[in-house]
Structure formats: C-alpha cells, structure tokens
Amino acid sequence: MLKKAMTLLVVGFGVYYLLTAPAGAADAVSNAFGAVIDAFGQVGVFARQLSS
C-alpha cells in the first residue's frame, strides 16, 4: 500500500513539474539521458583498459 502511494506521489510530481515547467523538465530529461550515455562510455573505457 505504501509503495503504491509513493509511486503515485512521484508520478504526480513528475506530471505537475512537466506541466508547470516544461523547459526545466526537458532539460532534466536531457541531462539524465546524457549521464546514462556517459556512464556507458566509461564502462567501455574501463573494459578496454582491462583487456589491454
């Protein structure tokens, strides 16, 4: 029950943030996507260093 309530609260906040500040929400998503891409790149660098 608590997990469902927390999930609804987080989703509700996300929708509210998207509707009230769409430019900020777009920047947040873009930054998060960039961080994920950078992390995968660093894993690739790590694997190359291990193999050489």
17, 25 contact by CB (below 8 A): yes
Q: Is the pTM of this model over 0.75?
A: no
Domain residue limits, the chain:
2-51
pLDDT in tens for each of the 52 residues of the chain? 999 999 999 999 988 888 898 888 888 889 999 999 999 999 999 999 998 8
Task: Report, in angstroms and rounded to the nearest whole number, the Rg of the chain calculated over CA atoms.
Answer: 17
